[in-house]
Amino acid sequence: MACVCLTDTGGLDFAPGLAALRDAGHDVDVLDLSFGDDIAARAAGAEALVVSFLPVDAATIAALPKLKVIATTTVGVNHIDTAAAAANGVEVRALPSLASEEVATHALAGMLALLRELPAARAAATDGWDFTAIPLPPRVSELTLGLLGMGRIAQALVERARPLFGKIVGFDPFTADDMWPAGVGRLADPDALFAEANVVSLHAPATPETRHVVNARTLALMPPDGYLVNVARGDLVDTATLLAALDAGRLRGAFLDVVDPEPPRPDDAVLRHPRIIVTPHSAFFSAATVHDYVMHTVDAVIDVLARRGEEES
């Protein structure tokens, strides 16, 4: 029997997962911690941590000598010190791409809301029923969609967007030619993508190389009246230069499911800007994923603890 600590739920319903852990013979402690709380002080004796968004740093890992596994309900592990975990023999288990369909659909919904001026159209409907108050939308079939990153989510987006856009181009140095989606132009560098795409959709991981890949220089490369979509990671975008480009009319709109920092302050300009649509990191959210995220994470904990228990016996 192992002690499993659930640090934070990330808004997910963990009841089925908690039942599965207890059925497997484990003690479960639901900590319900917040950012800034001391995980180690509350999780003393833990052999497994289940986390969503709280950071697990090297000091926390070092302070939990019985810890065998950290399982996160996220695909990325930027909030976990994976090097410290490896050095201490702690396995880190993250989610596979369980929500590719949802995130791709969310990205397409956001860009279409921008392109069809849906926020302005809603306002026009409730304030005089005057369609002439809506800024003239472009014809989508005359636009080029550019995808920065060509992983599972971007490829799912290609399938959905291909019938709508006149052209789709992409950049990803890590996707092999035989995995490149048919009908998508492959560009040699990010600058070429920004220069060609009317709509840039971000699907890259957060790395030192991709931090602020959207900046004053790359935004200046875009055709006039361009649009930005980010359902990947908030720090891909230099928010100050994005706001400046929107205010200057250089960029026509942005759809952001992720921001930097996250969550934003209540007075953050991205939440109030009339040319930005923001959603609360909800691109993954569906009836299917809220179940799968929990159960996949819990199953990972059960599997690791069972294997490590056999190795130690």
Whether 233 is catalytic: yes
Q: Where on the phi/psi map is residue 230: left (φ > 0), alpha (ψ -120 to 50), or beta?
A: beta
Active-site pick, 26, 106, 203, 281: 281
Q: What are phi and psi of 26, to 5 degrees?
A: -100, 145
Per the residue annotation, which of 142, 159, 262, 307 is the catalytic one? 262
- For residue 135, say if its preceding peptide bond is cis, omega within 30 degrees of 0: no
What does each C-alpha distance from 145 to 7, 55, 170 come to in angstroms?
Answer: 40, 35, 8
Tokens of 290: 């809220």
Q: How far apart are CA 228 and CA 194, in angstroms?
A: 10
Residue 267: beta bridge partners?
none
Task: Count Cβ atoms below 10 Å from residue 24 Cβ, excluding itself.
Answer: 18
d(C-alpha 307, C-alpha 63), whole Å: 23
For the chain, what is the radius of gyration of the CA atoms?
22
- Which segments of the chain are extended strands (E)? 3-6, 27-30, 48-51, 69-72, 91-93, 144-148, 167-171, 185-186, 199-202, 226-230, 251-256, 276-278
Tokens for 74, please give them.
């996220």
**Helices and strands per DSSP (H, E), number in the chain:** 12, 12
- Asked if residues 283 and 291 have their Cβ atoms less than 8 Å apart, the reply is no
Task: Name residues whose C-beta falls within 8 Å of residue 280's C-beta, 6 or more positions apart in sequence.
Answer: 257, 263
262 is catalytic: yes
3-state secondary structure of 237: strand
Say which of 106, 233, 252, 296 is annotated catalytic. 233
**90: Cβ–Cβ under 8 A, 6 or more apart, which residues?**
61, 67, 68, 69, 70
Q: Which sequence positions are flagged as catalytic?
A: 233, 262, 281
